[in-house]
Structure 1
């Protein structure tokens, strides 16, 4: 049931980010902060779910989740931090997704492998789109898609 609960939370978070990629007129630092915060929550949930299968992979995902949570909270409460890191945000989030994808690919379960492939592909897309287009709506949609697809795969691929 723990896996299904995590999957449902990821699906809900994905739908929230897809429905409100800009969250109205909130400044860009808040938007990015919330997106990175959701990414951190997703990585933490993935790490906790992974702990039963591989403690080392779970710990790496949890550490990435904590880093993402700290960055997300920093972006929300300190716009100056956002301004200072604005050029690196796309790379940070994209690299988190790629690293989480690689971890998923090397996981022992088949469902996690597919989650890993999806995360790595979306991470590469995130970096590419962020570098050349830099549209926060598209970047928010990519994070939403990752959360939604990961949640759906967790629900339907049983091991």
Structure 2
């Protein structure tokens, strides 16, 4: 994809996330719960079917299915479980942004270096704000800001 097209897509996505940071977050616990629940049911049936070929793989699939069932019901019935998982995801997203930032800074091109600096700063802010405030609107706005700034840098810094 052409660099300018990618930059414009990032800018548009950044603006959408900035204006609607909770887009999809509100029903996420229920939807995730049902998806994980169905995954668990599928794994249990696949495990039962696999028992004829490999008992070990069948038992593993059944155990994973039971774990998925418990998590699925947990996400649906206990919102705190989902909140804990989201808290864990805050660390994952922040670390991924920090790693992307370090890789961008180390790279040889000028635009990637500035994108790396932005990603590194946003990643650190994401972890700090995520642990202190835990407001999904603010976290969504940070991701939107990262997308927007990265798109603008890609658009205006020529390599």
Which category describes the TM-score, using the shorter chain as reference length?
A: 0.5 to 0.7
Aligned to 1:80: 75
Cα deviation for residue 12 of structure 1 reads 0.6
Matches within 5 A, 1:7-156: 7-23=7-23, 26-29=26-29, 80=75, 83=82, 85-156=85-156
Give yes or no for contact 2:102–2:120 (8 Å, CA) kept in 1.
Answer: yes
Shift of 1:25: 7.8
**Offset of residue 87 of structure 1:** 2.6
Secondary structure, counterpart of 1:85 in structure 2: helix
Change (3 A) 1:108 1:23: same
What SS does structure 2 have at the residue aligned with 1:119?
helix
Which residue is 2:63 aligned to?
none
Could you tell me the TM-score, scaled by structure 1's length?
0.64
Which residue number corresponds to residue 52 of structure 2? none
TM-score normalised by L of structure 2 = 0.64
> Is this contact kept in 1: 2:87–2:130, CA < 8 A?
no
Structure showing greater radius of gyration is 2
